[in-house]
Structure 1
Amino acid sequence: MKKKILVFITISLLCVLNVSAQETFKVMFYNLLNYPLEDAVPNREDDLEYILTDYKPDLFLVCELNNSAGATNVLNIAKTAINSNIEMATYVSNTSDDNIGDQNDLQNLLYYDSAKFIIEEEIIVPTYLRDFNVYKLKLNTVDQVTNPVVFYVIVCHLKASEGPTNQQRRFEMVQDLDAYLNTLPADTNILLGGDLNIYTATESAFQELLDTSNNITFADPANRVGRWNNNSSFVDVFTQSTRTQSGLGGSRGGFDDRFDFILTSENMLNTAHITYVPDSYQVYGNNGLTSCYNSRINSTNCGNSTSEFSFEIRDALHNFSDHLPVTVLLETDATLLNVVDAEISRYFELKNNITRYFLNIYINSHLLFNEYLDIYNSLGQKVKTLQLNSEKEQQFDVSDLQSGLYYLASPNQQIKSLKFLISN
């Protein structure tokens, strides 16, 4: 009897503490293209929801937010598409350009999973044009008081356009950032996501970021340093432009530039308590096809039947922004607190939120064994009922359902429904 009690206590503790040898976090940086003031493409919020539903970042770094209303819109989309634990840092309009035109409508911001991360400090590093927004984060670990895992996230948007004057301006902005970084310990863990608007790695702003004589030196985790502009050999890291058609807002030059980056401090490549996962750097939506050079991202030149990113994903990316997001994975061996969200239940989960033919469901509670789950369409009409068994993972044929948005719910348990997309 005592042995059974001990086993029960152990299992209970494992339910409270998310014990894992390795915790992995998904990071995405995205230029939102003048959101929400740019309205040439109607209902582009639906495209953003589609993108976030597919990738589900734990940290979502953005630039080109216009106002607080737009920031809140993105938050609400993220809460629906990712999970209800997503929160945002404080929205503060750009403070840097009051002396040259007061154009304070392009702001950076961080969205984060509040069950995994705690914001300890928010810092603004001003420049002549746009702020660097710096966020000091702490992992929500079981021993965060005695052994905190702390790192910094920087979100930025450097001066655009070619030419010596603009290159110098970008360099001066990075120098302002360096002045702040000099106030931090040299072993500080830092992740930087931004639209750097840099055409080649030889540009002084990029060289300054990678300068090994700096207090903190950044690294390109993709290890794709070179002359990117109009060079098809770098197509796998191109992020702009997703478009060739005029009238959609933003650039329409076709796929030919690497402007968007996620960089890490060198120590995050291998020695920090939170590190970059090797080979995880990816431009989301970029299938790495040379034929995509100078094309629109949703064209047949940029994807085929064996490509990772489908037409549906690439079409959503094309419609929402003239940039593609950049993603990386981070990992830690620290143990996170399992902050259970009563709305996003642990009772059941979906293996994929976007599917064509089959829905794979993980059942995490005996309360759902041999129960039913109902599928509702976007109008709230029940279109299908699934009979569960007692297996941990169960697969159901949904090929008879048309393309669109659906909800999966339990008629007998008070569990929030899960959203999924069928893309035929």
Structure 2
Amino acid sequence: MKKWGVLFLLVSQFAFGQTAVDTVTFMQYNLLNYRNSTSYCTNSNNNATSKDGYMNTIVGYVLPDIIACNEIAGDGGTAANRLLTNALNKDGRSYYKQCTYSANSNLCNMLYYNKNKFSLANQDKIRKAANNTTLVRQIDVYTLYYNYDSDLVNGDTTFLVVYVTHLKAGSTSADKVERAEMTEAVMSYHANNYEDVNYIIAGDFNIQTSSEACYQNLIANSNSYIQFYDPKNKAASWNNNSLYSDLHTQSTRTSSSGGCFSTGGMDDRFDFVLCGKEILDNTRGMEYIDGSYKAVGNDALHFNKSLISPANTSVPANVLSALYNMSDHLPVELKLGITKSTAGAKKLEYERNLVVGNPIQNVLSWKLDNGVAESLEIRNIQGKLIYSSVNQYIQGWNEIDASNWLPGTYVFNISLSDETIVRKKVVKL
């Protein structure tokens, strides 16, 4: 991100001249009590050393650049580090790095990333619901940036914020309330910390239908400006519904293996990767690759059946065996194109020539020293349109009355005649 002193807090992407410079793979995976012993998941039926081998095989096949994980033992970070050492950085791979351990329960989330492509800019956690009660599980927030060599020198790159969550399991009314509290907390945090970057929320949602409140909080939020989208665009009742067999991620088994693995065969869509609109529209240097979203190992032919019977040839035999033995969930994979403007000189020129007074009090002043402004809109951080105008600009300084605006953060969007879109954050005191 570029920060041009007090007057320039700029986060911008341009909608013209985009070209893909890399494709990265994102994977979400519930690891089923990885190195976490319970009365029903033990070293006999969920052996940690064996799971390292299975995960190594799966990662070697998918080769994800970002891995969001649920259900790693909350043991101070030992288990998360062992997964990195014993499964990810194996067989010639040495480029995976993990984020900082910060769990507050017996199971935790973790994000791993390819350090040759990404770096960690920041991480945070969400622990409290809107009513200030403690959430049943912590939600982790990770901010990565792509390692453009040239753009990093200039202080600019593509950012990705990943929310990793494991929503409350169960089908009771109380369970649904707790899930809704968790996603409500995510969206509250999202609104208060929203920036002009890319967003993903990934995890085991433990839901059976898109109509559940926790899911609606994410995909039909009252603030449409910041809501998430399903790349598959399949809102439905997924549970035990053969029409959506290609989306099901649980269970890989019909027998429980001593009570550790869930049963019932492939009939639930529990695991998700949802994207912000900016990724689907490719407005901030990252785009979803159409058709790349899938549950690894799901051939859509095993509805209510075990993953391995009858024969499943969607992945190599050793990968299929690893998926079956690793977890009762399947990993979800999607691919993202990293894009950048081919008009680098023009991009820098616009960034330098658009000046917005910041912070403001009763008047917002702005000017564009080069280029033709066609339309302007200003929204508050909740996405509500505060001001808009078309073709009403002069060369030099323009002023907008902000005396009735509430104190807070606003997003200034200007569209130029060559289809460039520039955004700035403005703070009213």
TM-score by length of 2: 0.67
- Kept in 1: contact 2:287–2:339 (CA 8 A): no
Q: Tell me, what secondary structure is at the counterpart of 1:222? A: coil
CA distance in 2, matches of 1:183, 1:234: 35
Unaligned runs of 5+ in 1: 1-19, 95-103, 336-424
Aligned pair 1:138/2:145, yes or no?
A: yes
Give 1:82 deviation, angstroms: 7.0
Aligned pair 1:51/2:71, yes or no?
A: no
- Kept in 1: contact 2:68–2:202 (CA 8 A): yes
Name the residue aligned to 1:388.
Answer: none
Aligned pair 1:315/2:316, yes or no?
A: no
Give the alignment of 1:228-243 within 5 angstroms: 228-243=238-253
Give 1:260 deviation, angstroms: 0.2
- Kept in 1: contact 2:169–2:175 (CA 8 A): yes
Segments ≥4 residues shifted beyond 6 Å: none
Q: Tell me, what secondary structure is at the counterpart of 2:94? A: coil
Aligned pair 1:275/2:287, yes or no?
A: yes
Name the residue aligned to 1:375.
Answer: none
Deviation track 1:136-195 (CA, whole Å, cap 9, x = no partner) reads 111111212432211201111000011222111111111111111111236431011100
Name the residue aligned to 1:285.
Answer: 297
Greater fraction of residues in strand: 2
Give the alignment of 1:37-76 within 5 angstroms: 37=36, 38=41, 39=43, 40-42=45-47, 43-66=50-73, 67=75, 68-76=77-85
CA distance in 1, matches of 2:330, 2:160: 25
* Paired letter, 1:255: M
Aligned pair 1:264/2:264, yes or no?
A: no
Closer/same/farther in 2, CA of residues 218 and 81 from structure 1, 3 Å limit: farther
Q: Tell me, what secondary structure is at the counterpart of 1:138? A: strand
Name the residue aligned to 1:25.
Answer: 24
* Paired letter, 1:170: R
Deviation track 1:329-377 (CA, whole Å, cap 9, x = no partner) reads 0111249xxxxxxxxxxxxxxxxxxxxxxxxxxxxxxxxxxxxxxxxxx
Closer/same/farther in 2, CA of residues 209 and 179 from structure 1, 3 Å limit: same
Give 1:272 deviation, angstroms: 2.4
Which of structures 1 and 2 has the larger relative contact order (alpha carbons within 8 angstroms, sep 6+)?
Answer: 2
Deviation track 1:298-322 (CA, whole Å, cap 9, x = no partner) reads 1116x2xxx4223332221111101
* Paired letter, 1:160: A
TM-score by length of 1: 0.68
- Kept in 1: contact 2:57–2:318 (CA 8 A): no
CA distance in 1, matches of 2:178, 2:114: 34
Closer/same/farther in 2, CA of residues 82 and 225 from structure 1, 3 Å limit: farther
* Paired letter, 1:22: V
Name the residue aligned to 2:117.
Answer: 116
Aligned pair 1:223/2:233, yes or no?
A: yes
Q: Tell me whether 255-264 or 183-192 shows the greater mean CA deviation.
A: 183-192
Deviation track 1:253-305 (CA, whole Å, cap 9, x = no partner) reads 2111000000011111022211111111010011121xx1111111116x2xx
* CA RMSD in angstroms, aligned pairs only: 1.7
CA distance in 2, matches of 1:227, 1:281: 19
Name the residue aligned to 1:211.
Answer: 220
- Kept in 1: contact 2:20–2:337 (CA 8 A): no
CA distance in 2, matches of 1:280, 1:32: 22
Closer/same/farther in 2, CA of residues 266 and 22 from structure 1, 3 Å limit: same
* Paired letter, 1:331: G
CA distance in 1, matches of 2:69, 2:305: 24
Q: 1:157 aligns with which of 163, 166, 186?
A: 166
CA distance in 2, matches of 1:184, 1:32: 29
* Paired letter, 1:281: Y
Closer/same/farther in 2, CA of residues 163 and 78 from structure 1, 3 Å limit: same
* Paired letter, 2:162: V
Give 1:246 deviation, angstroms: 2.3
Name the residue aligned to 1:4.
Answer: none
CA distance in 1, matches of 2:91, 2:25: 14
* Paired letter, 1:309: V
Unaligned runs of 5+ in 2: 1-18, 129-134, 342-429
Closer/same/farther in 2, CA of residues 190 and 82 from structure 1, 3 Å limit: farther
Deviation track 1:196-244 (CA, whole Å, cap 9, x = no partner) reads 0011000011111012532511000012211001111111000001111
* Paired letter, 2:210: A
* Paired letter, 2:209: T
CA distance in 2, matches of 1:185, 1:177: 11
Q: Report how many aligned residue pairs link the two structures.
A: 301
Give 1:326 deviation, angstroms: 0.1
Deviation track 1:3-39 (CA, whole Å, cap 9, x = no partner) reads xxxxxxxxxxxxxxxxx95200011110010111243
- Kept in 2: contact 1:50–1:81 (CA 8 A): no
Give the alignment of 1:287-302 within 5 angstroms: 287-289=299-301, 292-300=302-310
CA distance in 2, matches of 1:198, 1:119: 30
* Paired letter, 2:165: C
Closer/same/farther in 2, CA of residues 177 and 47 from structure 1, 3 Å limit: same
